[in-house]
């Protein structure tokens, strides 16, 4: 039931907003639908915590601590982003960058995007997972090009083609997975694609086929995670789309894609008795961290800057999942949580700053604290949090990952530290110049939306200082499932 | 002497590969769409033959779906788009065909080598064609890399999907129905969205040539 509401809410929202999206109250409806989804996710989480994992609807959907935690996170960020988007998109309309018809498209696609991500997270069928991931691309591609500027169309095209090609590789991987499984489970119905069934027989799956399948799956879903060297679409799509979309792409879509990779990794590890899958993920992760850290120095556009920072953080999480083991998995899950909370709050403040300045070029944004102390400090705090300063949660997760790396793969520690250090220098110097100093901007003409920003930062701070025992137990359970 | 259905399927596989190469070397956009439709036809015939031979009902649906989508709907949409955009005589000028074909040959060899261990494990009648299916995917990939026109990139994208469907049929007698439907829906929606995109691109860049799109580069 909770699942029905969880999936039905955004779908109904998408239909309704597609029909009525030109009305004045469309943004409120968008918030309402997101709030409903969030409430349903809370209910579902509570059910899973009290009753344990569940399999419903002909075993086509299933919930365990690992995915229900991502469902809750996705619904939460979707809700707060809707809160932020309501006034933000109104102002964009005021500035004449979008009109009512485009806003209808925007709101409808917003809900469809939420739907496809939640479907990807909750489905038990690896084929449907693929369909939902592709659906998420399709829903967002028109959002990236919402402003119809040449740059945004170019970004959307690149996004579509690169992710489309990438995800085709993932489909080939899924076919191979099905091929390996159907010999054991039979090809009647979709039993051989159900993750829970695959998980039970993973020891018997053919290692050769699964290794080849994993390479395809990792390349395919990895493109969507934004792993280097397949990350090309990510900075463009983040920089050219509307800010709420950047926040959702960075905070949610990348997580969902990484979730898909991890699900596949569990199967492959069980079949191939070597650390091939883990090593591949570690390699891609390290490369992303390093490449992103050095490219950060060359950025001039503020949203591109934080997009590269997302690549870096996804690299860290992928690396941690690659190492495996209870501590690294725990840290990676924590890192996914704090990254998406922090990064979306940063994008909210960046959105206000860029909207007010009328540009995303960092050199032209100066002295944010003078025009609005809360936006300025919000950005500063968010930046400190994402850079891994204690006492924020990112520090805790990065610390755990570094400790594990030192233990198990000592040679990777200097590489990680180098990446983190370089990224720190690049981001901190830029943001400091933007937040403090003389300003050339007008005072903010409208009150900024602060609730989502500070709610996210407060959560991140809490996770850094104290993880409630329930949540810790839940993370541990999820980490154990991933193995 | 192999049984007749197998011979037909092998023939279809050979035709698929041949059509992939033809697409790789075709400069004109309109002919490319026709070649794509032909490839879809061959694909749906081969799925139909497999269905007839194995008696699996869902493969008949799959063959029908492929026919409707790849032979009728998508080429129709593309033809209409090309007409509306007045891009009928567009062709690629910057294209070194011999080099591309050589690269294509290497890709085919690579695909066969990669598919070899998998085919050996397969019990399906059609296992020998898995290498060809992978080659079709790789050749479509190559086409997308080498082309600079929006329409050709889309045809490449769709041809890649053809290869994937062929792989699904030859390795496992097709994916479960619900997945195939989902994939088909994604492909259809994707093509429609890309069609919308053509107009945006034209509006902004006055051409469907993607070489105008070079502003978003790391400098």
Residue A189 — very low, low, confident or very high, per pLDDT cuts 50/70/90?
Answer: low
Distance CA A325, CA A313 (A): 19
Q: What are phi and psi of A63, to 5 degrees?
A: -125, 130
Q: Do A142 and B193 touch (CB under 8 A)?
A: yes
Q: Which of B121, B141, B172 sits opposite A178 (nearest CB)?
A: B172
CA distances from B153 to A260, A450, B157 (A): 27, 43, 6
pLDDT range class, residue B202, cuts 50, 70, 90:
confident
Q: Provide the mean pLDDT of chain A.
A: 90
3-class SS at B173?
coil
Task: Give residue A246's pLDDT.
Answer: 94
Of residues B172, B194, B213, nearest to A187 (C-beta): B172
pLDDT for residue A54? 85
pLDDT band at A182 (very low <50, low <70, confident <90, very high): confident
Left if phi > 0, otherwise alpha if psi is -120 to 50, otherwise beta: which for A435? alpha
Contact B185 A131 (CB under 8 A): yes
Q: Where are the domains of chain B?
A: 4-211
Closest CA of chain A from B164, distance in Å:
6
Q: Which pLDDT tens digit goes with each residue over A202-239? A: 888 888 889 999 999 999 999 999 998 889 899 999 99
Q: pLDDT confidence of A85, banded at 50, 70, 90?
A: very high
Please name every residue paired with A63 in a beta bridge, in sequence order, or none if there are none.
Answer: A54
- Report the mean per-residue pLDDT for chain B: 85
Is the CB of A145 less than 8 angstroms away from the CB of B200?
yes
Closest chain A residue to the Cα of B211, Cα to Cα: A154
A433 inside domain = yes
Domain that holds residue A424: 275-483
Tokens of B109: 């060899």
Task: Report the pLDDT value the prediction gives residue A41, as an integer from 0 to 100.
Answer: 94
The pLDDT of residue A1 is above 80 = no
Cα nearest neighbour of B180 on chain A:
A127
How far apart are alpha carbons B84 and B88 in whole angstroms? 9
HSE at residue A436, side-chain half, CA atoms within 13 A, is 6
Q: Is residue A385 part of a domain?
A: yes
> Does residue A424 fall inside a structural domain?
yes
Contact B118 A208 (CB under 8 A): yes
CA–CA dist A324, B66 (Å, integer): 41
* Tokens matching residue A437: 């100093």
pLDDT at B205: 79
pLDDT in tens, A41-68: 999 988 888 888 888 888 889 888 888 8
In this structure, is residue A311 part of a structural domain? yes
Q: Which residues are within 8 A (CB) of A65 and not within 5 positions of it... i.e. 6 or more apart?
A: A48, A49, A53, A474, A477, A478, A481
Residues in chain B: 219
Provide mean pLDDT across the span A162-180.
90
Q: What is the pLDDT of residues A282-340, one digit of tens each?
A: 999 999 999 999 999 999 999 999 999 999 999 999 999 999 888 999 999 999 999 99
- pLDDT, one tens digit per residue, over A252-292 is 999 999 999 999 999 998 888 888 899 999 999 999 999 99
Res B83: pLDDT? 86
Determine whether the interchain pair B118/A295 forms a contact, defined as Cβ–Cβ distance below 8 Å: no
Chain A segment 175-194 residues within 8 A of B by beta carbon are: 175-176, 178-179, 182-183, 187, 189-190, 192-193
* A-B Cβ pairs (cutoff 8 Å, strict): 130
A104: its two tokens:
């209808």
Domain assignment present for residue A260? The answer is: no
Note the pLDDT tens digit of each residue in A347-404.
Answer: 999 999 888 888 898 888 888 888 888 899 999 999 999 999 888 999 999 999 999 9
**For residue A439, is it left (φ>0), alpha (ψ between -120 and 50) or beta?**
beta
The number of angstroms, rounded, from the C-alpha of B189 to the middle of its chain's C-alpha atoms is 16
| Residue in chain B nearest A132 by alpha carbon | B182
What is each CA distance from A118 to A38, A84, A115, in whole angstroms? 11, 20, 5
CB contact (8 A) between residue B118 and residue A176: yes
Side-chain half-sphere CA neighbours of B45 within 13 A: 18
Burial letters for A358-371: b for 16+ Cβ neighbours within 10 Å, e otherwise? eebebeebbbbbeb
Q: Cα separations (Å) of B38 from A181, B20, B45, B53?
A: 32, 10, 11, 23
Taken in order B195, A147, A313, A464, the sign of the CA dihedral is negative
Q: A 230-289 residues with CB below 8 A of B?
A: 236, 240
Q: What is the pLDDT of residue A315?
A: 96
**What is the average pLDDT across A10-34?**
89
Instruction: Tell me the CB-side half-sphere exposure of residue A145, using CA atoms within 13 A.
Output: 24
How far is residue B161 CA from its own chain's centroid?
5
Query: Is A54 in a helix, a strand, or coil?
Result: strand
Does the structure show a pLDDT above 80 at B206? no
Residue A423 has a pLDDT of: 95
Q: Which residues contact B120 (CB under 8 A, 6 or more apart)?
A: none
Quote the pLDDT of residue A347. Answer: 95
What is the total count of domains within chain A? 1
pLDDT (tens digit per residue) in B172-184: 777 888 888 888 8
Task: Give the count of beta carbons closer than 10 Å to the beta carbon of residue A354.
Answer: 20
Indicate the pTM of the whole model.
0.93
């Amino acid at each position: 039931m909770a699942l029905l509401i969880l999936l039905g809410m955004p779908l109904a929202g998408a239909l309704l907003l597609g029909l009525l999206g030109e009305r004045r109250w469309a943004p409120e409806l968008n918030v309402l639908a997101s709030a409903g989804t969030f409430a349903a996710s809370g209910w579902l989480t509570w059910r899973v915590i009290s009753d344990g994992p569940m399999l419903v609807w002909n075993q086509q959907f299933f919930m365990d601590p690992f995915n229900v935690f991502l469902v809750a996170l996705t619904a939460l960020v979707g809700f707060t982003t809707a809160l932020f988007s309501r006034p933000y998109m109104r102002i964009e309309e005021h500035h004449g960058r979008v009109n009512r018809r485009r806003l209808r498209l925007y709101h409808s696609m917003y809900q469809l995007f939420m739907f496809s991500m939640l479907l990807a997270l909750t489905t038990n069928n690896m084929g449907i997972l693929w369909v939902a991931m592709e659906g998420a691309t399709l829903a967002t591609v028109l959002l990236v090009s919402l402003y119809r500027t040449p740059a945004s169309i170019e970004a959307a095209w690149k996004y579509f083609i690169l992710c489309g090609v990438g995800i085709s590789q993932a489909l080939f991987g899924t076919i191979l997975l099905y091929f390996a499984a159907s010999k054991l489970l039979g090809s009647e119905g979709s039993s051989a694609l159900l993750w829970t069934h695959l998980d039970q027989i993973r020891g018997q799956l053919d290692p050769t086929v699964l290794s080849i399948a994993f390479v395809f799956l990792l390349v395919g879903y990895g493109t969507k995670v934004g792993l280097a060297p397949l990350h090309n679409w990510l900075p463009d799509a983040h920089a050219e789309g509307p800010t709420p979309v950047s926040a959702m792409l960075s905070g949610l879509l990348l997580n969902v894609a990484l979730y898909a990779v991890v699900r596949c990794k569990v199967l492959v590890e069980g079949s191939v008795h070597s650390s091939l899958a883990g090593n591949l993920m570690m390699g891609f992760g390290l490369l992303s961290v390093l490449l992103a850290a050095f490219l950060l120095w060359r950025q001039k556009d503020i949203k591109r800057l934080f997009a590269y920072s997302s690549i870096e953080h996804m690299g860290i999480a992928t690396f941690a999942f690659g190492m495996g083991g209870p501590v690294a998995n725990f840290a990676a899950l924590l890192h996914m949580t704090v990254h998406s909370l922090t990064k979306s709050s940063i994008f909210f403040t960046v959105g206000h700053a860029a909207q007010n300045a009328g540009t995303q070029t960092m050199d032209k944004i100066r002295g944010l604290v003078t025009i609005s102390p809360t936006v300025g400090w919000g950005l500063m705090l968010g930046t400190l949090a994402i850079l891994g300063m204690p006492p924020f949660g990112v520090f805790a997760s990065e610390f755990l990952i570094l400790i594990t790396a030192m233990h198990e793969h000592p040679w990777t520690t200097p590489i990680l530290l180098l990446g983190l250090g370089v990224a720190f220098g690049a981001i901190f110097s830029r943001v400091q110049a933007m937040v403090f100093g003389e300003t050339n901007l007008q005072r903010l003409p409208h009150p900024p939306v602060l609730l989502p920003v500070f709610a996210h930062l407060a959560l991140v701070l809490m996770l850094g200082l104290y993880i409630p025992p329930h949540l810790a137990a839940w993370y541990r359970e999820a980490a154990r499932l991933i193995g | 002497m192999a049984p007749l259905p197998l011979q037909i399927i092998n023939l279809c596989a050979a035709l698929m590969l041949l059509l992939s190469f033809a697409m790789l070397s075709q400069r004109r956009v309109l002919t490319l769409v026709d070649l794509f439709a032909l490839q879809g036809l061959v694909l749906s015939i081969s799925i139909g033959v497999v269905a007839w031979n194995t008696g699996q009902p869902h493969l008949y649906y799959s063959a029908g779906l492929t026919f409707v989508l790849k032979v009728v709907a998508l080429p129709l949409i593309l033809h209409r788009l090309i007409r509306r955009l007045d891009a009928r005589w567009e062709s690629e000028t910057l294209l070194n065909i011999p080099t591309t074909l050589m690269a294509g040959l290497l890709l085919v060899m690579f695909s066969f080598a990669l598919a070899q261990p998998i085919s050996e494990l397969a019990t399906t009648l059609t296992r020998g064609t898995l290498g060809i299916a992978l080659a079709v995917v790789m050749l479509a990939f190559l086409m997308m890399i080498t082309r600079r026109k929006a329409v050709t990139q889309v045809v490449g994208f769709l041809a890649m999907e053809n290869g994937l469907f062929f792989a699904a049929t030859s390795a496992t007698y097709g994916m479960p129905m619900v997945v195939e439907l989902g994939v088909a829906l994604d492909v259809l929606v994707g093509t429609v969205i890309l069609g919308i995109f053509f107009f945006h691109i034209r509006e902004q860049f006055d051409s469907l040539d993607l070489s105008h799109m070079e502003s978003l580069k790391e400098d």
